[in-house]
Homo-oligomer: A and B are copies of this chain.
Amino acid sequence: MERVLYNINKVIHPTSTELAALVKIIQPRVIEKGEHFLREGEICRSIAFIEHGSVRAYYRVEEKDICKDFLFENAVIGSFASFFSQFPSALNIAALEKTHVLQMNYEEVIHLYDNYPSWQKLGRIIVQDQFVKAERREASLLKDPPEVRYRALIEEHPKVFKKVPLHYVASYLGITPETLSRYRSKIKL
């Protein structure tokens, strides 16, 4: 909790009243390894900050998972598209390891939005941030070859990708596990 509030403080300077209102709606929650935070077809009723741990966001296509993203400490998880529209999600989100999150539900977020200027501003900033990230991810997906994306991934989170099954990573890169395995053996030398 403290770290998240600390990070918020870098962006926004809420009053003590505002802070209290936020703290009131935050629900700490532990997501076990493999447990889902959100399933395709469900409406995303809450979003959450990751305190520690990691999750994967993926689409399910023809009996196979296609990873769209991996998310770590301080990231915001949920399908923003589904959360904001309150329409069913196309996305699944599941924990890669035991993950502690701070979650807030839709009605309460909207209430915060409408009643506390600081939180409205923070909401806007988070959405902007998601856009910037989405644009970067999209650019990388279109521009960078799989090897480059693989290296970026392991360089950014070396510890995590020691533990994550490689077929998740392969699906993120848009290649088969066999091909990823061959990349790895080449790169290591």
B84 close to A135 (CB less than 8 A)? no
Copy number in this complex? Answer: 2
Q: In the complex, are the beta carbons of B66 and A143 less than 8 A apart? A: yes
Q: Are B59 and A131 in contact (CB under 8 A)?
A: no
A67 to chain B, nearest CB (A): 9
Chain B contacts of A139 at CB under 8 A?
59, 68, 90-91
Q: Which residues of A contact B (CB under 8 A)?
A: 59, 61, 66, 68, 79-81, 84-85, 87, 90-91, 124, 127-128, 130-132, 134-136, 138-139, 141-143, 174
A133 to chain B, nearest CB (A): 8
A86 nearest CB across to chain B (Å) = 10
The residues of B that contact A90 with a CB separation of less than 8 Å are 135-136, 139
Chain B residues with Cβ under 8 A from A127's Cβ?
Answer: 84, 127, 131
Could you say which residues of chain B place their CB within 8 Å of the CB of A79?
A: 135
Please determine whether B131 and A84 come into contact, CB atoms closer than 8 angstroms.
yes
Query: In the assembly, what is the distance between CA of A138 and CA of B130, in Å?
Result: 14
Partner among B61, B135, B142 whose Cβ is within 8 Å of the Cβ of A81: B135
CB closest chain-B residue, reference A67: B142
Question: Which residues from chain B contact A124 at a C-beta distance below 8 Å?
Answer: 84
* A84-B128, A85-B128, A128-B85 given; A61·B143 CB < 8 A: yes
The closest CB in chain B to the CB of A120 belongs to B120
Are the C-beta atoms of B85 and A132 separated by less than 8 Å? Answer: yes
Q: Which residue of B lies closest to A135 (CB)?
A: B81
- Candidate in A85, A130, A135, A143 with the most chain B CB atoms within 10 angstroms: A135
Cα A142 to Cα B124 with chains together (Å): 28
